[in-house]
Structure 1
Amino acid sequence: MAFLFALLLSFSAFAQGASETAEVATRGVEPGATEGASADGAAADPAVLDAGEALFKNNCASCHSAGSDVVVGPGLQGVTQRRSTSWLQSWIKNSQALIQSGDAQAVAIYNEYDKQAMPSFAAFSDDEVNSILAFIESGQGVAQAPAAGPPGAEAGENVGTNAIGAVGGYLDIVLVVLIIVLIVLVVVLLLISSLLKNYLNKNNQLDEYDNEIVNQRFDLSKVYKSKAVRTLVVLIFVVVLIDLSIDKVMGIGIQQGYQPTQPIAFSHRLHAGEHQINCNYCHTTVYKSKSASIPSANICMNCHSQIQKESPEIQKIYRAIERNEPIQWVRIHNLPDLAYFNHSQHTQVGNIECQTCHGPIQEMDVVYQYSPLTMGWCIDCHRETPLNTEGNEYYDNLVKLHEASSKGAFTVASNGGTECSKCHY
Structure 2
Amino acid sequence: MRVVIGLLALVASASAQATNWLQLQGNEAPDAPAFRYFGFVQPTYTHIDARPVTKLQGAAAVHNGKYSALNLNWPNLESPQQFQILRAGLGARGGLTDEINYFVALDAGQNGTTYYSDVMLTDASLTFSFIPGARMRAGLFKLPTGEEALQAVNVSAPYVYNSNAVLYLLVGLPVQANGAVNPAGASFASLTSGFSGYRDWGVQVFDTFNRGQWEYSYAAMLSNGDSIDRLHDSDGRKDLTLRFQASYLLGGKGPNREDFSAYVWRQDGSRLFGTQQYALVREGVGLKYLQGNYRASAEYLRAAGMIVGGQTPPFVGQPFVVGVNEKAGGWYLEGGWRFLPQWEVDLRYDYLDFMKQTLANEREFATTTLGLQYFVNPATHVIFNYEWRAMKVSNPAAIAAGASLNNAQTIAANLGDRASAQLTWSF
Same fold (TM over 0.5): no
The TM-score normalised by the length of structure 1 is 0.20
Rg comparison, structure with higher value: 1
The TM-score normalised by the length of structure 2 is 0.20
Structure showing the higher helix proportion among its residues: 1
